[in-house]
Structure formats: structure tokens, C-alpha cells
Amino acid sequence: MLSVTNLAVRFQTRRGPVDALKGVNLEVASGEILGVVGESGSGKSVTAYSIMRLLEAGGKVVDGTVRYGGVDLSDPSENQMGNIRGREISMIFQNPRAALNPIRRVGDQIGDVLRRHARATRTTAKAEAIKALEAVRIRDAAARVDAYPFELSGGMCQRVVIALALACDPKLLIMDEPTTGLDITTQKAVMDLVADLIRDRGMSAILITHDLGLASGYCDRIMVMRDGEVVERGTPLSLFTAPDHPYTRRLIDATPRLGARIRELLPVEARTPMPERRVENEPLLEVRNLVKTFPSRSGPVHAVRDVSFTIRKGQTLGLVGESGCGKSTTSSMVVRLLDPTSGQIIFRGEDLAATPASRFARDPRRARIQMVFQDATDSLNPRHTSRQTIAEPLRRLGTGASNDRIAELADLVGLPLPLLDRFPHQLSGGQKARVGIARAIALDPDLLILDEPTAALDVSIQAIVLNLLIDLQARLGISYLFVTHDLNVVRLLCDQVIVMQGGAIVEQGPAEQVMRNPATAYTRSLVAAAPQPPALGDAAQ
């Protein structure tokens, strides 16, 4: 149905031409879902954009052909291509909010597409839009059709985008990381929905993702890309059970999954023995009856309701929940960036909540609690070099920033010394994460809050960062409060886990136990929603 032969794409940049695709071949048969898996920079999105002829200005197809149903897609005029996009081939983009026009009602946006392709007239557009919304199982579609994108949740927006993409019954659907930024239960709901729709309508699809687990759950065939080339292709089972290419093997290893230990995420040659870790009995942090209520026009919002927990010295506590469950608010209060409405934060016997957040910056206890932020890019000052960033806490709260200490920290987190004089935009995602961790441990804190520190990283980098965190904990005896929505990672890293929903704790206990035998329906749904790749060596099944 779709066949891409020897596709090569080159981008013109300030540093000269860059080959984004180096001869990619792929075929999608009718009724098939093809998974394209790769890490950032592998060229998987560029492949999709080239098929749709949506490459940005700097990019050019230098070789190869894209044939769709026998037609060479480089032939049609831009106008004819407009007819093909949407009616024949449709695309779902990464960020559903960005893909929708923020100032127009969702029904109007669907109506536009229908009218553009002569599927509806001005009078029938609204009724057709409601039908399209019902097709993606949006409840109460007749009311939602008049909503603006900002009035809908992320999952709802993605459903609208899917409705848009499917409005004109395309034969081929290209999904570019369709569930990035969605909670895992929402991710599962959205992916199940798309898979059903594709099956019911007999469509073909290409699923572009960095998540091997997700791809293996929904695709008939998977191809793995790296540096603009296809390194391996096969069915999910054959890929997982007998990967041919060493890169595929590394990628599979690095994907957190059931039964894997944290060292097993690393390539075989990098698996050093697990360091000895000591969890002491003495509690380091005790949070008692923490409450945070935000005032709002429609009455008070209870972000955190009566949360209590304890972290022992050297222990890792996982804080799990979906967006809006109050886990970020809780961690902001513990790290003293936000004042609680009521409750106590007892740290080594003293109540930190007694000191307001605005005065805590100059408090001597500030150095004892530090944080690694979710988005490494956002958390580094774009005007500061890595050295300045790491030196900042040493200079403000420590005994001064000596070059020796900075070099020692860089060494601890595995940051090559020449990178110390680079600005954030000159570093890769993994390197930025290391700078953020080096800054956080610069003052030898007792407690480190890790706010989804690997959410924005590729799986292979995530594997390295998680192992780094474990090593640091063993060496420095730090306690971690690990905030995340990724249960597979919690299983790897945490001793204890807390599950939050609607601002309250619904379940807590040892991580292994909560993951294996969840006591509440909510935790069960979270565990079930986490994508599970088939385990290595399952060929017998």
C-alpha cells in the first residue's frame, strides 16, 4: 500500500549539510500497523514528514521514492497533495494541544476538515462533527463540540485530534508519538481506541514511538531506526526474543520491564556489580498531615489532602500518580518551594514548615534538601555554563566553589571535564541531566527530590541515569523521594511506594508488594496500563 524505497533526506544547517535519512526502505501492507522505534535523532519523525511532504524549509529529499497505492508522491502538485493528506493519508502529531487551534471550537475545526474534503456542507458540518467525536468515544459529544481546546484534558484533546485525522476516512494513519505527555491510563485508553478504530475501518497505520513496550503491544511489525538508517525489522516477538542487531539488543535491555533489575538495563559490558546500600532505621523525613489548598474563583481547590509518610536514611520512596494527583505539589512543599496550608514536615527532628518558603533560601538547612528537576533543559539557566551552574549552590550555601570540587562532582556524575565550559544548548539531553544531578548533590544533601528526572530522556540514557542515581545513593547515603508516573521505573529504583489520587494517598507499602499485589482498584489500573514488552528469552511461548 505504502512503499518507501531508499529514501534519503538532507538538512542544510549552519554547520553544513546533515544527512537525516540515509536510504530508508519500508512497506506498509493494507490492514497492517507498522511500528517505527528509535531514540531522538534517529530520523523516525523525518521519515513521517517526508512521506507527507511536510519537511521544514531546510530539509530536502535527495534520493528515493515514496509510492502510495502505485502513485509516486513526489508527482502531485501541492494542491493535489492537500487532497491526499487527510483523505488518503492522515497524521496525528506529538502534542495534541499544539495541533489544535486554541481559539476555535473543536467542532468548527473538525467541520473545516470535513468541508475542505467535501464531506459535509455548512449546514451538516456540526452534526457530522458530533458523529466524528462520538466515533472516538467522547462522552456527551453534542456538548463537547462547542468546547475550546483549553477546556479539555490532554487525553480529550488527543481524542479530538484523532477525530480530526479520521474524519475523512483515510486509508493510512501516521501517528508521531501520539501519547507523549499523557498519563499511562490515558495512554492505554487512547491507544486501545486507535487500535480498535484502525481494525474496524480496515486501515493501515504507522506508529512512531521511542517506547518499545508500547510498539510491541500494538504493532504487527516493528522497525528499529538509528542515525537515519533502519537497523532491524521484524515482528515484536521475534525482535524481543532474538534481536539480531546489537543496537536493538541495547534498546531492549534499556527498556524497563517486569523482572529486570536496574543493572540489566545497561549494555552487558557496562554491568558493574551492584554497590552495597544501607537503609537505616532512623527516619530522616516525616511528613505529617500535610494539606495544601489553593484558593480559586470557583471555591478552594484541595491539591493535597492530609498526606503523611516517612523516609528513612538511605531509602528511596516512590511517589506515584497521574497528573493532577498532587504529587508535584507535595514534592514542592517538601523541598520548601511552597508553603503548606497545614501539617508538619519534620526533617531530622525539626519542623521545616515552620520556616516560610520565602525565607528558606537563606536557611542553613537549605543545603540538606535538594532537587533534580523534571525537564533538564528548563532547569538550567541558558546563560550559565555547566561550571557556573554546578558552582552556584557551592558559592551560595557551601564553602566556596573550588575547581577541584567542581571537577570531583563532574566525575561523580560522569560528565567529561571539557563539557564544564559549555552552555546548556551545547549539551545533549543526557549531559544536561548529569549537570542537574551534579548541582543537586554538590552540597552533599541528605534528601534529594527526584521529579521525573528521566521523563524527557531516551531509554538508553534513562538506564544510565537511573544506575548513576543508585550508585550515588550507595556512595553518599542520600535518601530519595522519587516522583514519577512510570511504574516500571518505580519498581526498579524504589524501596517503598506511595500511590496518590485526587490529592490523597490511596495505597502505600513496599514497592515490590504494591506492584505485584495492588490492594486498590486504582493501583491495579495503573499497573495494568503500563506497557509491558515481551521478556527476553520468551521464545518458547
496 lies in the binding site for other proteins (CB under 8 A):
no
Q: Specify the residue, 220 or 375, whose C-beta has the smaller distance to other proteins.
A: 375
Sign of CA pseudo-dihedral 380, 480, 186, 306: negative
15 lies in the binding site for other proteins (CB under 8 A):
yes
**Phi first, then psi: what are they for 74, rounded to 5°?**
-85, -10
Q: Specify the residue, 345 or 497, whose C-beta has the smaller distance to other proteins.
A: 345
E strand or H helix that includes residue 288: strand 283-294
488 lies in the binding site for other proteins (CB under 8 A):
no
Q: Which of 392, 474, 477, 502 binds other proteins (CB under 8 A)?
A: 392
Do 135 and 121 contact (CB within 8 A), yes or no?
no
139 lies in the binding site for other proteins (CB under 8 A):
no
Name beta bridge partners: 27: 3
Tell the smallest beta-carbon distance from residue 313 to other proteins (Å): 21
- Binding residues among 415-434 for other proteins as defined by CB under 8 A: 418, 421-423, 425-426, 428
Q: Largest Cα–Cα distance in the chain?
A: 74
DSSP state letter for 298: T
Q: Which of 272, 358, 402, 517 binds other proteins (CB under 8 A)?
A: 358
What the block records as the C-alpha cell of 175 is: 501517528
Site string for other proteins, 276-315 (x = CB under 8 A): ----------------------------------------
**Phi first, then psi: what are they for 48, rounded to 5°?**
-65, -45
Tell the smallest beta-carbon distance from residue 345 to other proteins (Å): 15
Q: Which of 255, 330, 379, 460 binds other proteins (CB under 8 A)?
A: 379
Q: Which of 272, 381, 402, 513 binds other proteins (CB under 8 A)?
A: 381
Tell the smallest beta-carbon distance from residue 47 to other proteins (Å): 21
Tell the smallest beta-carbon distance from residue 39 to other proteins (Å): 15
Q: Which of 209, 248, 374, 462 binds other proteins (CB under 8 A)?
A: 374
Cell numbers 487525553 correspond to 155
Sign of CA pseudo-dihedral 449, 451, 454, 457: negative
470 lies in the binding site for other proteins (CB under 8 A):
no
Strand arrangement, sheet containing 2-13 = 16-28, 2-13, 59-68, 71-72
Distance CA 182, CA 345 (A): 31
Distance CA 36, CA 23 (A): 15
Q: Which of 81, 367, 474, 535 binds other proteins (CB under 8 A)?
A: 367
Tell me whether strands 316-320 and 301-312 are parallel, antiparallel or unpaired. Answer: unpaired
Q: Which of 347, 373, 480, 522 binds other proteins (CB under 8 A)?
A: 373
383 lies in the binding site for other proteins (CB under 8 A):
yes
Q: Specify the residue, 256 or 393, whose C-beta has the smaller distance to other proteins.
A: 393
Q: Per CB under 8 A, which region of 183-191, 202-210, 435-443, 484-492 contacts other proteins?
A: 435-443
Tell the smallest beta-carbon distance from residue 118 to other proteins (Å): 42
Name beta bridge partners: 318: 482, 497
Tell the smallest beta-carbon distance from residue 95 to other proteins (Å): 18
E strand or H helix that includes residue 13: strand 2-13
Q: Specify the residue, 65 or 388, whose C-beta has the smaller distance to other proteins.
A: 388
DSSP state letter for 402: -
Q: Is 93 helix (H, G, I), strand (E, B) or coil?
A: coil
Q: Specify the residue, 206 or 449, whose C-beta has the smaller distance to other proteins.
A: 449
**Phi first, then psi: what are they for 405, rounded to 5°?**
-65, -40
Helices (H), 275-420: 327-334, 357-360, 376-379, 386-397, 403-412
Q: Specify the residue, 223 or 335, whose C-beta has the smaller distance to other proteins.
A: 335
Q: Let me know how long the chain is.
A: 541
436 lies in the binding site for other proteins (CB under 8 A):
yes
Q: Per CB under 8 A, which region of 239-247, 414-422, 474-482, 513-521 contacts other proteins?
A: 414-422
453 lies in the binding site for other proteins (CB under 8 A):
no
Q: Which of 255, 331, 370, 496 binds other proteins (CB under 8 A)?
A: 370
Name beta bridge partners: 453: none
Q: Strands, E, within 143-252: which ranges?
A: 172-176, 204-209, 221-226, 229-234
| Identity of residue 149 | P
Nearest one of 312, 306, 317 to 343, comparing CA atoms = 306
- Binding residues among 320-349 for other proteins as defined by CB under 8 A: 335, 337
Cell numbers 498526606 correspond to 307
Tell the smallest beta-carbon distance from residue 366 to other proteins (Å): 5
Q: Which of 378, 408, 444, 538 binds other proteins (CB under 8 A)?
A: 378
Residues that bind other proteins (CB under 8 A): 14-15, 335, 337, 358, 361-362, 366-367, 370-371, 373-375, 378-383, 385, 392-393, 396-397, 418, 421-423, 425-426, 428, 436, 439-440
